[in-house]
Amino acid sequence: MAKQEWMVPFDKQIRLSDYDPDSRGGFKNKSEAREILRKNLKRMAELQELMFAEGKHALLIVLQAMDAGGKDSTIRHVMDGFNPQGCHVVGFGVPTEEELDHDFLWRIHKHTPQRGFVSIFNRSHYEDVLVVRVNELVPKEVWKARYAHINHFERLLADSGVTILKFFLHISKEEQKERFQDRLDRKEKNWKFNPSDLKTRAKWDDYMKAFEDVFAKCSHPWAPWYIVPANRKWYRNLVVSTVLVEAMEKMDMRYPPAPEGLEKIVIE
């Protein structure tokens, strides 16, 4: 497995219909992938500790998906490999009045990771060229200008030592229907169902077009997008964890040198 399988080509318009959300990457079943995932999570923990000790790098993980796409589940099952003391999860919902009184990136920037730490965005600054666009919350000339603002913002972070990995958890419309129905059928999941999600579902094609434009305009070597087949949760977890491990290993991190004289210390 290599992360290039799922990385969005740079500066190229793609069609999501060309990407199979039901892919399992050649694996026959969940059992075949279980050991690889276990090793990935173990390696993630090792690399996070190294990143914290070195204090030169930071990691920003962006998760985007349609409703019921598995953002929360990915955080629970994949990011479990990280030590929570060095990991910060932020969910971005409807902006507050205070946030609306600032530029659209103001609420985002203050949650980016400091060196040695990991930040995970459950939704992100891309809502301002997705939801805002599809629902016509601002004029077209406003949201169109935001692609360039986002690119400059992410380049600033990358130049400051932040590795940025952006994942679109790609599910089919049919899979979303099944997951919505599951939330209706199971009482313990009723709280997760929001009738307003059906309004978003009705604009599925508009959202797919908006995502395609995001990938074409905002996938770059310093902040790549990955389209993750997410109908099968186990394969989604495997893909995300594999990309994380490969990216963190490329940071080429080193533990800081030990203080002088340790060999002379005797603990009584």
| Predicted TM-score (pTM) above 0.85 | yes
Exposed, middle or buried: residue 185 (CB in 10 Å: 0-12, 13-18, 19+)? Answer: exposed
- What is the per-residue pLDDT for 4? 64
Q: Are 210 and 49 in contact (CB under 8 A)?
A: no
Cβ-based neighbours of 207, under 8 Å, separated by 6 or more: 66, 130, 134, 200
Residue 45 identity: A
Structural domains in the chain plus CATH codes: 3-255 (3.40.50.300)
Distance between CA atoms of residues 151 and 162, nearest Å:
14
Q: Are 211 and 168 in contact (CB under 8 A)?
A: yes
- 154: tokens are 């992410």
Residue ranges of the chain whose pLDDT lies below 50: 2
User: Helices 233-249 and 30-54 meet at what angle, rounded to 10?
Assistant: 30
**Model confidence over 165-187: pLDDT tens digits?**
999 999 999 999 999 999 999 99
Spell out a b/e string for 122-142, using b for 16 or more CB atoms within 10 Å of the CB, else e: bbbbbbbbbbbbbeeeeeeee
**Model confidence over 140-160: pLDDT tens digits?**
999 999 999 999 999 999 999
Helical spans, DSSP H, in the chain: 30-54, 71-77, 97-100, 106-109, 131-134, 140-159, 173-185, 196-201, 204-218, 233-249
Distance between CA atoms of residues 33 and 59, nearest Å:
25
Q: What DSSP assignment string belongs to 146-213?
A: HHHHHHHHHHHHHHTTEEEEEEEEE--HHHHHHHHHHHHH-GGGGGG--THHHHHHTTHHHHHHHHHH
Distance between CA atoms of residues 164 and 85, nearest Å:
20
- What is the per-residue pLDDT for 172? 98
- What is the per-residue pLDDT for 28? 86
**Model confidence over 181-220: pLDDT tens digits?**
999 999 999 998 889 899 999 999 999 999 999 999 999 9
Residue 134 identity: V
